[in-house]
Structure 1
Amino acid sequence: MKKFFKQFKKINTEPLERSNIVWSWIGSFIGIMGIVLFHRNILGDSDLGLVIGSFGASAVLVYGAIHSPLAQPRNLVGGHILSALVGVVSYKLFFGNILLCSAFAVATSILIMQLTLTLHPPGGATALIAVLGSEHIHNLGFIYVLYPVSTGAFILLIIAIIINNISKNRKYPNKIKT
Structure 2
Amino acid sequence: MRSKDVRPARKSTSKILWSVVGAFIGIYMMSIFSSSFSTHDSFFLLGSFGASAVLIYGAPEAPFSQPRNLVGGHVLSALVSVLLVKSFGNMLDLELLCALSVSLSVLVMHLTLTMHPPGGATALIYVIGSEQIQSLGWIYPLTPIGLGAIMMLLVALIINNMSENSKRHYPLYWY
Q: Same fold (TM over 0.5)?
A: yes
TM-superposed CA distance for 1:7, in Å, is 2.1
Deviations 1:46-70 (A, max 9, x none): 3215421100000000000111000
Counterpart AA for 1:142: W
Q: How many residues in Structure 1 have an aligned counterpart in Structure 2?
A: 166
* Structure 1 portions without partners, runs of 5+: 1-5, 10-14
The one of 13, 34, 39 equivalent to 1:18 is 13
Deviations 1:81-126 (A, max 9, x none): 0000001111112223211111111111100000000000000000
* Structure 2 portions without partners, runs of 5+: 1-5
For residues 9-158 of structure 1, the aligned pairs below 5 Å read: 9=9, 16-41=11-36, 43-44=37-38, 46-96=40-90, 97-158=93-154
Instruction: Provide the C-alpha distance between the structure 1 equivalents of 2:29 and 2:44, rounded to a whole number of angstroms.
Output: 13
Counterpart AA for 2:104: T
CA contact (8 A) 1:50 1:137 kept: no
Q: Choose 166-175 or 18-27, whichever is displaced more.
A: 166-175
TM-superposed CA distance for 1:45, in Å, is 5.1
CA contact (8 A) 2:71 2:150 kept: yes
CA contact (8 A) 2:80 2:101 kept: yes
Instruction: Provide the C-alpha distance between the structure 2 equivalents of 1:134 and 1:104, rounded to a whole number of angstroms.
Output: 18
CA contact (8 A) 2:101 2:124 kept: yes
With the length of structure 2 as denominator, give the TM-score of the two structures: 0.89
- Backbone CA RMSD of aligned residues: 1.7
Instruction: Provide the C-alpha distance between the structure 1 equivalents of 2:15 and 2:94, rounded to a whole number of angstroms.
Output: 41
Q: Which residue of 2 aligns with 1:8?
A: 8
Q: Which residue of 1 aligns with 2:162?
A: 166
Counterpart AA for 1:92: K
Q: Percent identity?
A: 51
Counterpart AA for 2:128: L
